[in-house]
């Protein structure tokens, strides 16, 4: 896990899940941005910061996905940190079973879904962030809301460097995911448009490298989401008056992308993502949703059904 200085006061630990770190001008305060998938990642980050004699006084968690706060409990147990998180996400961080629970339609999740990728150890939250300027003595950052990938994901802007969380993916990661995880397609698109309009010196995604020139990568993200959205729409149009069961729609999308989820947890992430596009089509009246013969069925809004 390489410790990289972006510019004076802005750093990150480069890993499959990046951990950001920012330092106040007087070097008295330091904020970790996310904490990695598990204790071992957080432990490495804290050790490096200690060796570099850099303070850790604050912990900001961008959103309640286990790969971003799995190491947070370790940080809280080992360092006296003031922990900040966005509303709602913060509730899931305090009760992490909510993640496998919402992915498993509200049931008590099967044991196989209660793994480190879907359920992180619980943490306590000291402060809920709001969009805008946040100050503590000489430390001043701007919190920004980036919903879409999760309900109320936030990023943080410091010294004109945007720690963008999972509001977009690095290009390599984008290719690998095929159908990137989102919970709300419409707000995901508007977040990506907001990112394109942002005039910052660089952006760090949660997965991928720091980018000084980020426009192409954000445009590539928009293209992928637009493509997936039209694929869902096209399957509905092709199904005509027969429509598709929700499960068949998901299956068609997975087969199209040659994705064979290894387990229910992985399947449920894709189901949520595909359903996000469907919700946008329903909201835009391009699709309709009904219960037929005991099954949720979806039809194109353009069919006669």
Q: Which CB atom, from 244 or from 274, has the smaller least distance to Zn ion? A: 274
Return the H-helix or E-strand segment holding 174.
helix 171-177
Q: Which CB atom, from 182 or from 250, has the smaller least distance to Zn ion? A: 182
Helix segments in 52-130, DSSP class H: 66-69, 72-78, 89-94, 98-103
Q: How far is the CB of 36 from Zn ion (least distance, A)?
A: 12
Using CB under 5 A, which of 11, 49, 65, 281 touches Zn ion? 65
Q: How far is the CB of 153 from Zn ion (least distance, A)?
A: 7
Q: In the structure encoding, which two tokens stand for residue 75, read together?
A: 């940080």
Q: How many helices (DSSP H) and strands (DSSP E) are in the chain? A: 10, 15
Q: What is the CA radius of gyration of the chain?
A: 20
How many of the chain's residues bind Zn ion (CB under 5 A)? 2
Contacts of 57 (CB under 8 A, 6+ apart): 28, 29, 30, 31, 80, 81, 82
Q: Which CB atom, from 99 or from 166, has the smaller least distance to Zn ion? A: 166
- Integer Cα distance of 236 and 286 in angstroms: 9
Are 180 and 172 contacting, i.e. CB atoms less than 8 angstroms apart?
no
Using CB under 5 A, which of 73, 119, 166, 217 touches Zn ion? 166
Q: Which CB atom, from 222 or from 246, has the smaller least distance to Zn ion? A: 222
Task: Give CA 220 to chain center in angstroms.
Answer: 17
Which of these segments, 57-65, 183-191, 228-236, 255-263, binds Zn ion (CB under 5 A)?
A: 57-65
Which of these segments, 84-92, 140-148, 162-170, 258-266, binds Zn ion (CB under 5 A)?
A: 162-170
Q: Which CB atom, from 90 or from 166, has the smaller least distance to Zn ion? A: 166
Which of these segments, 62-70, 73-81, 154-162, 192-200, binds Zn ion (CB under 5 A)?
A: 62-70
**34 near Zn ion (CB under 5 A):** no
Name which of residues 196 to 255 contact Zn ion (CB under 5 A). none
Q: In the structure encoding, which two tokens stand for residue 126, read together?
A: 């000291």
Q: Which CB atom, from 65 or from 271, has the smaller least distance to Zn ion? A: 65
Q: How far is the CB of 248 from Zn ion (least distance, A)?
A: 27
Q: How far is the CB of 68 from Zn ion (least distance, A)?
A: 6
Q: How far is the CB of 64 from Zn ion (least distance, A)?
A: 9
- Integer Cα distance of 266 and 103 in angstroms: 10
- Integer Cα distance of 63 and 8 in angstroms: 26
- Interface residues toward Zn ion, by CB under 5 A: 65, 166
């Amino acid at each position: 896990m390489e410790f990289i200085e972006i510019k004076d006061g802005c750093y990150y630990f480069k890993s499959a899940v990046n951990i950001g770190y920012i330092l106040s001008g007087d070097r008295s305060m330091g904020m970790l941005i996310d904490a990695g998938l598990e204790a071992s990642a957080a432990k490495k980050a804290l050790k490096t910061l200690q060796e570099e004699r850099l303070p850790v006084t604050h912990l900001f968690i961008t959103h309640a996905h286990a790969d971003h706060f799995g190491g947070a409990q370790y940080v809280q147990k080992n360092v006296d940190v003031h922990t900040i998180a966005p509303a709602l996400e913060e509730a899931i961080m305090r009760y992490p079973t909510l993640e496998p629970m919402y992915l498993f339609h509200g049931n008590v999740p099967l044991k196989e879904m209660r793994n480190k990728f879907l359920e992180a150890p619980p943490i306590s939250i000291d402060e809920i962030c709001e969009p805008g300027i946040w100050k503590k003595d000489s430390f001043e950052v701007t919190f920004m809301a980036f919903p879409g990938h999760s309900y109320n994901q936030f990023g943080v802007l410091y010294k004109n460097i945007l720690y963008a969380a999972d509001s977009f993916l690095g290009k390599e990661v984008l290719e690998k995911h095929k159908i990137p995880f989102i919970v709300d397609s419409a707000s995901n698109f508007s977040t990506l448009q907001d990112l394109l309009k942002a005039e910052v010196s660089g952006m760090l995604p949660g997965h991928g490298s720091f980018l000084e020139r980020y426009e192409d990568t954000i445009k590539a993200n928009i293209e992928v989401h637009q493509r997936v959205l039209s694929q869902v729409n096209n399957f509905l149009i092709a199904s005509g008056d027969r429509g598709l069961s929700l499960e068949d729609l998901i299956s068609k999308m997975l087969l199209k992308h040659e994705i064979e989820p290894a387990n229910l947890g992985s399947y449920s992430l894709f189901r949520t993502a595909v359903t996000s596009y469907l919700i946008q089509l329903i909201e835009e009246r391009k699709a309709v949703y009904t219960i037929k013969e005991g099954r949720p069925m979806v039809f194109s809004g353009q069919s006669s059904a």
